[in-house]
Amino acid sequence: MRTFSGRITATAIAAVLGLAVALPGAAWSQQQAGAATPAAKAAAPAKPAAKRPAKAQKSDPKVVAVQEALNKAGAKLKVDGMMGKATTAALRDYQKKNGLKVTGKTDDATRQKLQLP
């Protein structure tokens, strides 16, 4: 048979180990109902920082022309008029394959090879 001090010891060990301990009365029903304990609130993960809204970017007709020319040359770009990572990578790849200086920019030699004005 357990003694009073034995119950306290078992409860203390369970609390240290983070185990659920049956509490009598209203405290147990609150936990059953999902009421957060101070320890549970402290352990809750923090909310991620709010992202800054993206700047509104306009589609550039010159970039559209470059994307369309690169697609004709074998690239599989989304034609959106934005000079993003995919377009820059496709442009660098095109320059490398065609013996041009690899800049990732539409310089005169690249425009000429892509037959752009």
Give burial (CB, 10 Å; 0-12/13-18/19+) of 104.
middle
Whether residue 94 contacts residue 73, with contact meaning beta carbons closer than 8 Å, is answered with: yes
Nearest-angstrom CA–CA distance, 80 and 90: 14
- Of 59, 66, 60, nearest in space to 92 by CA: 66
The tens digit of pLDDT for each residue in 94-112 reads: 999 999 999 999 999 999 9
Amino acid at residue number 22: A
Stated pTM of the model: 0.54
The tens digit of pLDDT for each residue in 46-82 reads: 777 777 776 777 899 999 999 999 999 999 999 999 9
Going by C-beta distance under 8 Å and a sequence separation of 6 or more, which residues neighbour residue 117?
Answer: 111
Amino acid at residue number 96: K
Give burial (CB, 10 Å; 0-12/13-18/19+) of 81.
middle
